[in-house]
């Protein structure tokens, strides 16, 4: 049976194998596949296209220099890159030195992101789930994720108790997880 889906999965893995052996063409293909996710999240965090481009360059150069930081047995490359890009962008936003331990970000996602991304359906589902959340929950989650605010900073900003803020963030994430659990 040769549907498009398994092929997309093996291609990502095969391209990573190419990157491992120093193949620049494989790297270019991975860039074409995942750059808009990396750039999108960096731009959302930083709000500035120039700095977002720097993060984009940085993330893919890290992957080129140390492809072993991505552990394929633990999750999807697209998901991993998106999280790494967010973390890098937050480091830049907060003027922190970049975290060196990229390999610590292990991912476990119940959806085949590269394939779903091709169909754009996954993104629509995520956006739908975010829209359906109570406004306070979505905003706590987005402040923590896209603005890099700590729960204390969010509590200060919204005037809500710390416990409420923490619970909102967690409940929001679990609601997103449910979207892809059949």
Site for other proteins in 2-61 (CB under 8 A): 17, 20-22, 24, 27-28, 31-32, 35-37, 39-41, 43-44, 49, 52-53, 56-57, 60-61
Q: Which is nearer to other proteins, 16 or 159 (CB)?
A: 16
Our CA dihedral for 92, 39, 25, 67, rounded to 10 degrees, sits at: 40
The pair of three-digit structure tokens given for residue 111, joined into one six-digit string: 């959806």
Q: What are 118's two structure tokens?
A: 């091709």
Q: How far apart are CA 14 and CA 37, in angstroms?
A: 20
How many residues form the binding site for other proteins (CB under 8 A)? 80
Residues 6+ apart with CB under 8 A from 28: none
Nearer to other proteins, 27 or 159 (CB): 27
Among residues 7 and 177, whose Cβ is nearest to other proteins? Answer: 177
Question: Whose Cβ is closer to other proteins: residue 36's or residue 159's?
Answer: 36
| Touching other proteins, residues 80-99 (CB under 8 A) | 80, 82-83, 85-87, 90, 99
Asked if 173 is part of the footprint of other proteins (rule: CB under 8 A), the reply reads yes
Q: Give one word for 10, left, alpha or beta, with left for phi > 0 and alpha for psi -120 to 50.
A: alpha
**Looking at 4, 73, 95, 135, which residue binds other proteins (CB under 8 A)?**
73
Instruction: Show the site string, 107-146: x = touches other proteins by CB under 8 A, - = not.
Output: xxxx--x---x----xx--xx--x----------xx-xxx
One symbol per residue from 145 to 164: x for binding other proteins (CB under 8 A), - otherwise; what is it?
xx-xxxx-----------x-
Q: What are phi and psi of 131, to 5 degrees?
A: -65, -35
Q: Are 177 and 79 in contact (CB under 8 A)?
A: no
Closest by Cα among 40, 110, 48, 46 to 75: 110
């Amino acid at each position: 049976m040769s549907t498009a889906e398994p092929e997309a999965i093996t291609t990502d893995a095969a391209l990573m194998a190419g990157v491992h052996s120093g193949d620049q063409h494989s790297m270019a293909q991975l860039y074409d596949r995942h750059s808009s996710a990396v750039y999108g999240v960096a731009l959302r965090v930083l709000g500035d296209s120039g700095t977002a481009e720097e993060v984009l360059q940085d993330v893919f150069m890290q992957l080129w220099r140390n492809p072993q930081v991505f552990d394929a047995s633990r999750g999807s490359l697209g998901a991993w890159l998106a999280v790494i890009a967010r973390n890098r962008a937050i480091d830049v936003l907060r003027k922190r030195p970049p975290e060196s331990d990229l390999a610590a970000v292990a991912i476990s996602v119940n959806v085949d992101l590269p394939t779903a991304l091709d169909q754009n359906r996954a993104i629509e589902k995520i956006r739908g789930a975010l829209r359906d959340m109570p406004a306070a929950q979505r905003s706590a989650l987005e402040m923590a994720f896209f603005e890099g605010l700590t729960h204390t900073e969010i509590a200060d900003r919204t005037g809500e108790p710390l416990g409420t803020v923490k619970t909102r963030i967690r409940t929001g994430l679990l609601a997103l997880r449910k979207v892809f659990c059949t």
